[in-house]
């Protein structure tokens, strides 16, 4: 697909880099960028040649949240139109969260509002130490509605209150301490090195096992122990019977690399 607000590059290793490409607007979310992120998530999720997805931003910022022009357009709509705009954002975040591949956030700069929400749907997020963050919606008289399921799941309810209720900005060290980020890099060069290390580790894993494990985590997190016990018994049997499961066990016993690692 061709995009107006995104750059999508897939290299020979099956690593897709998705770059939000509105640097003059600090990659703020508008209707087009939201739609294109949703489309890219679905496209990359279906592409069997893609094994890892890296999400980043062009220019100085990762994502500044909602675009002011999009806010103006949304305010001019009737209630049904505003709900449709909100739903489009929610569906985009869900598509990224539901991606059956590892989603690695390369957080190259500031992330506010929806930008912080997009970090929360990443499986791993690494940022430059100079980046600033904020759940700023309340300072506009709004609420962090669509991003809240992902932010709360990532950092917990108590920490969500500590950053959402004031809307105050905070630095990368605190973002890492509360769990929004997984690691920090001192500068852009170190960030690229950290992302490469992360990507290389994920390329060691079976793609089908990764997808199944993401489903497993989501199920266990949202069901009681009795339901989880039944689900996990079935899920492990499915894994044993899968092509990658059989190959992985055979390669372990035969002391060789499994087939998916030979494709690196």
Give the pLDDT band of residue 52 (cuts 50, 70, 90).
very high
Instruction: Give the whole-number percent of the chain exceeding pLDDT 70.
Output: 99
Is residue 71 over pLDDT 90? no
- For the segment 22-35, what is each residue's pLDDT rounded down to a tens digit? 999 999 999 999 99
- Going from the C-alpha of 3 to that of each of 61, 160, 207, 208, the distances in angstroms are 19, 33, 26, 28
Query: What does pLDDT average to over the chain?
Result: 95
- 18 close to 46: Cβ distance less than 8 angstroms: no
- 139 close to 245: Cβ distance less than 8 angstroms: no
The domain 6-202 belongs to what CATH superfamily?
2-enoyl-CoA Hydratase; Chain A, domain 1 (3.90.226.10)
- 106 close to 136: Cβ distance less than 8 angstroms: no
Helices (H), 3-147: 31-46, 68-75, 79-97, 114-120
Quote the pTM value: 0.95
Order of strands across the sheet that contains 132-134: 61-63, 110-112, 132-134, 170-171
| Other beta carbons less than 10 A from residue 139's beta carbon | 13
Beta-bridge partner residues of 128: 185
Place of tokens 């960030």: 191
Q: What is the mean pLDDT of residues 96-114?
A: 98
174/68: higher pLDDT: 174
Give the pLDDT band of residue 261 (cuts 50, 70, 90).
confident
| CA separation for the pair 19, 94 (Å, rounded) | 18
Q: What is the mean pLDDT of residues 51-60?
A: 98
| CA separation for the pair 104, 126 (Å, rounded) | 8
Is residue 263 over pLDDT 80? no
- Going from the C-alpha of 95 to that of each of 99, 185, 218, 242, the distances in angstroms are 6, 28, 14, 25
Q: Which sequence spans correspond to the domains of the chain?
A: 6-202, 207-262
Q: What is the mean pLDDT of residues 253-263?
A: 84
| CA separation for the pair 150, 97 (Å, rounded) | 8
| CA separation for the pair 73, 255 (Å, rounded) | 60
| CA separation for the pair 46, 48 (Å, rounded) | 6
- For the segment 176-226, what is each residue's pLDDT rounded down to a tens digit? 999 999 999 999 999 999 999 999 999 999 999 999 999 999 999 999 999
pLDDT of residue 34: 98
- For the segment 139-150, what is each residue's pLDDT rounded down to a tens digit? 999 999 999 999
| CA separation for the pair 54, 61 (Å, rounded) | 15
Q: What is the CA radius of gyration of the chain?
A: 19
Is residue 138 over pLDDT 90? yes
Give the pLDDT band of residue 262 (cuts 50, 70, 90).
low
Query: Residue 11 corresponds to which tokens in the numbers above?
Result: 């290299």
**Helix, strand, coil percent values for the chain (each to nearest 5):** 55, 15, 30
- Going from the C-alpha of 188 to that of each of 26, 56, 112, 128, 130, the distances in angstroms are 17, 12, 19, 7, 10
- CATH topology classification for 207-262: Lyase 2-enoyl-coa Hydratase; Chain  A, domain 2 (1.10.12)
Beta-bridge partner residues of 63: 111
pLDDT of residue 195: 98
- 179 close to 155: Cβ distance less than 8 angstroms: yes
């Amino acid at each position: 697909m061709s995009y107006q607000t995104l750059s999508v590059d897939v290299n020979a290793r099956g690593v897709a880099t998705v770059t939000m490409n509105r640097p003059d607007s600090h990659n703020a979310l508008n209707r087009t960028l939201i739609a294109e992120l949703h489309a890219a998530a679905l496209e990359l999720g279906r592409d069997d040649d893609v094994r890892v997805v890296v999400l980043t931003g062009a220019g100085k910022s990762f994502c500044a949240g909602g675009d002011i022009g999009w806010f103006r357009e949304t305010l001019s709509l009737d209630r049904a139109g505003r709900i449709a705009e909100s739903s489009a954002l929610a569906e985009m975040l869900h598509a990224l969260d539901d991606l059956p591949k590892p989603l690695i956030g390369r957080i190259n700069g500031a992330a506010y509002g929806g930008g912080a929400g997009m970090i929360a749907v990443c499986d791993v997020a690494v940022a430059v130490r100079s980046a600033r963050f904020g759940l700023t919606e309340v300072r506009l008289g709004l609420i962090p509605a669509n991003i809240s399921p992902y932010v709360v799941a990532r950092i917990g309810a108590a920490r969500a209150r500590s950053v959402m209720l004031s809307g105050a900005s905070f630095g990368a060290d605190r973002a890492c301490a509360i769990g929004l980020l997984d690691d920090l890099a001192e500068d852009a060069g170190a960030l690229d090195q950290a992302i490469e290390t992360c990507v290389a580790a994920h390329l060691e894993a079976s793609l089908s096992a990764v997808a199944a494990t993401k489903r497993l985590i989501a199920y266990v997190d949202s069901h009681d122990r009795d339901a989880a016990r039944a689900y996990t018994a079935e899920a492990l049997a499915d894994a044993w019977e899968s092509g990658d499961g059989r190959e992985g066990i055979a390669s372990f016993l035969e002391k060789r690399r499994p087939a998916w690692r030979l494709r690196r």
